[in-house]
Amino acid sequence: MSLYSIKMRGSKEDNHISGAESIVEEKDLQRAVNMLIKRAMNHSKGKSDFINVKIEALKEEIEYIEPLEVTKVEVDNPKEGFNVVKHVLKNLGIAEDKADKIIDFFKLNNNMRGAMLLDINTLKRLESDKKRGVRVTYMDFQGSKLNHLSKDTAYNAHFIEALALATKVASCPNIIGEICFSDDPNYTAGYISSKKYGYIRISQMKKLGESQGGRIFLYDSSLDESCTVKDCINYLQNKKVIIKDRVKIKSNKNYKDFIK
Ligand code: AMP
C-alpha cells in the first residue's frame, strides 16, 4: 500500500493563515486535498489568497507509534490553565523557579511558525532559526485524521492534529515535555504533553479573541547522550510517523481535582 504525504500552507497578503498536513492512501488523496483547501479558505484568521499544496509519495520506512493517552482538564480561566502547566512541570521533576521561568519564556515568545526547543538545564534555545523555530512534519493518524473528523465531530481538527504532533514529539529521545496553545482566536484550549503523563488538554490557556499562541519543546540532554540536538531536530522534521488509530481518553478532571 503506498502512502502519500500532503502538506498545505495558506496565506493572505503574505501573512500566514493556515498550515496542515495529512498522510493518506492513494484512494483518499483527493478527499484529503479538498479538506485541506477548505481549511485554507475558511480559517478564522481569514481567507487565503495563496495556497501551496505539496504531495509526495512516502518511500522511506515509517514508524508506527501508540497515541499519548488523553486527560482533559476543565479550568475557569487562563490563570488556572497555566497553574495546571506548572503542576505538570513540577511533576516532571522541574524545580518551581525553573517552571516559572519556562512559563514566562513561553508566554513571551509566541506567534512563530514552529516551536522553540528549550534546554531545560541551561534555559537556552537550541534551534538555529529562532524566528521560525522547529516545525514538526510527517505525522498523521493511521487511516488519516480524516476518519476521526468524519466519524466524530467531538474530535475537532485542532485536537486531533495536536495529539498526532504531540505524540510524535513525545517519542523523540531527550524531549521530556511540550507546552502549546493555539494562535487561532476562536480556540482557547492548549496542552502540556509528555511520555510520562500523556496529553493533558487544558480548556483555557488564553481568552477568546486573542490571537497569540505558541509551542515549546523541553529538551533534556542528560536523558540520552547518544542522541544529539541535530538528531532530535532531524527526527522531528523528517521521520515519517503514523499514530495508531485509537484515541484513548483516560479521564476528565476539573481544576481542583487535578491540582491537588
Ligand atoms: P496551532 O495549534 O496550529 O495554532 O499552533 C500554535 C503554535 O504552534 C504556532 O503559533 C506555532 O508557533 C507552533 N506550531 C504550529 N504548527 C507547528 C508544527 N508543525 N511544528 C512545530 N510548531 C508548530
User: What tens-digit pLDDT sequence spans the chain (260 residues)?
Assistant: 789 999 999 999 998 888 899 999 999 999 999 989 998 998 878 899 999 999 999 999 999 999 999 999 999 999 999 999 999 999 999 999 999 999 998 988 777 889 999 999 999 999 999 999 999 999 999 886 655 554 444 457 788 889 999 999 999 999 999 999 988 888 899 999 999 999 999 999 999 999 889 999 999 988 888 889 999 999 999 999 999 977 788 889 999 999 98
Give the number of the atom of ligand 1 that is nearest the alpha carbon of residue 236: 20
Res 221: pLDDT: 86
What is the Å distance from ligand 1's center to 115 Cα? 6
How many residues does this entry show for the chain?
Answer: 260
Give the number of the atom of ligand 1 that is nearest the alpha carbon of residue 134: 21
Burial of residue 89 (number of CB atoms within 10 Å: 0-12, 13-18, 19+): buried
Res 211: pLDDT: 85
Which residue intervals of the chain are DSSP H helices? 29-41, 78-91, 96-108, 144-151, 157-170, 229-238, 255-259
Give the DSSP per-residue string, 187-232: ---EEEEETTTEEEEES-SS-TT----EEEEEE-TTS-TTS-HHHH
Give the number of the atom of ligand 1 that is nearest the alpha carbon of residue 111: 10
C-alpha 62/C-alpha 139 separation (Å) is 10
The dihedral sign for the CA sequence 147, 16, 106, 219: positive
What is the Å distance from ligand 1's center to 106 Cα? 13
What is the Å distance from ligand 1's center to 114 Cα? 5
Give the three cell numbers for residue 253.
Answer: 478532571
What is the Å distance from ligand 1's center to 47 Cα? 19
**pTM of the prediction?**
0.93
Q: How many CA atoms lie within 13 A of 231 on its CB side?
A: 12
What is the residue whose three cell numbers read 478527499? Answer: 31
CB atoms near residue 138 (< 10 Å):
21
One-letter identity of residue 252? N
CB of 36 closer than 6 angstroms to any ligand 1 atom: no
CB of 136 closer than 6 angstroms to any ligand 1 atom: yes
DSSP state of 69: P
Res 154: pLDDT: 44
Closest residue (by CA) to atom 7 of ligand 1? 214
**Which letter, b or e, does each residue of 106-118 get, where b requires 16 or more Cβ atoms within 10 Å of its Cβ?**
bbebbebebbbbb
C-alpha 259/C-alpha 76 separation (Å) is 13
Res 145: pLDDT: 63
Give the three cell numbers for residue 120.
Answer: 531545560
The dihedral sign for the CA sequence 12, 14, 17, 22: positive
